[in-house]
Copies of this chain bind each other. A is one copy, B any other.
Amino acid sequence: MNTFGNIFRLTSFGESHGEAIGGVIDGCPAGIFIDKEFIQNELDRRKPGQSDLTTSRKEPDQVEFLSGIYEGKTTGTPIGFIVRNNNQHSSDYDNLKDVFRPSHADYTYQQKYGHRDHRGGGRSSARETIARVVGGAIAKLALKESGIVITAYTSQVGSIRLEKPDAELDFNAIEQTPVRCPDLETARQMIERIQQIKAEGDTIGGVITCVCRGVPAGLGEPVFGKLHAALGSAMLSINAAKGFEYGLGFEGVQYKGSEVNDLFYRKPDGSAGTKTNHSGGIQGGISNGEPVYFRVAFKPVATLLMEQPTIDRSGNETVVKVKGRHDPCVLPRAVPIVEAMAAMTILDYKLLAKA
């Protein structure tokens, strides 16, 4: 269950404090030009220490490709890659060996496997998402050749919410602030809120919105392979994700059908378009040619820099205080991860649609 996808498949491995994080990308079409600078840049968007909104850990996260690329292009054979771990302070975790951090995976891994690498969260660490960002970067390179562009941004932090619709936003502004919200005034408020929370040793949640433009009609399989179900599954596999909605989502339940049905019209080129896009670009599980968009909810990070009561492996009540360097808010660094998972899903369904 560490493999994602049907045709374009990422298999991921690695613990936070093990030797390396890595993966294998199988099913990538042959002949895709591999822009290593772009891939490294995607990793840099994910890495810790990029601003004072994130953990201060410094992890260079340099990717090394081991196979599947020849003369700068993919060969169609599996692409193996690794990113070495080398800024691990494993001793920070010594006190966690036998206690369960609240709302973490410590207890459930212990129950499931009986034996776990507790250091830095082991396999449940967000460092695992490095493999996804590499996979997503390669998927983006393949999608770019078909004119498909995937963009995510932070649309909510705590109760600070960006209300403007996508169409009114300047996506070029996303990377201008460390919080990755394209509306600069809202971004300013979000940043202020995160800094305040960080000062308290506490954490806060939020929402990321993702927009996929250029997706052709016809992607998605009926019944159990609906495109939005695949996207939902992809997003809910990201650490700390608690919800997924596309199109009008939860808010749309209060409307009448006559208020939200997307009416078809004839576009100048003779093809069909919809006047509104409340469907989020997907109807009956299949893309209709309009932009695909969705939102992902992230809970506040469970790791707090304060004492919390808990129990240990023997069932004794105790107190845990986490050391180390942690994110007060996962959102800014989760933006490239959401994009990566979306890119791999869309490419996978594009390849499925050809079969």
Q: Which residues of A contact B (CB under 8 A)?
A: 1-4, 7, 9, 11-15, 18-24, 26-27, 30-31, 64-68, 70-71, 73-80, 82, 100, 102-109, 111-117, 122-124, 128, 156, 158-159, 197, 200, 202-207, 217-218, 220-226, 228-230, 232-234, 236-237, 242-250, 252-266, 270-272, 274, 278-280, 282-289, 297-304, 306, 308-311, 315-317, 351-355
Contact = CB atoms under 8 A, between A and B. Distances in A.
A112 B353 contact: yes
Contact of A103 (B67, B115, B159, B283): B283
Contacts of A308: 261, 263
29 contacts: A2-B77, A3-B26, A31-B115, A66-B82, A77-B113, A77-B117, A77-B122, A77-B222, A102-B264, A105-B286, A106-B284, A107-B217, A109-B222, A112-B286, A158-B255, A204-B255, A204-B257, A229-B232, A232-B236, A233-B233, A243-B244, A243-B249, A245-B250, A245-B297, A261-B308, A263-B310, A265-B311, A265-B317, A355-B355
A113 B2 contact: no
Contact of A79 (B13, B20, B247): B13
A222 B123 contact: yes
A225 B1 contact: yes
A100 B207 CA distance: 34
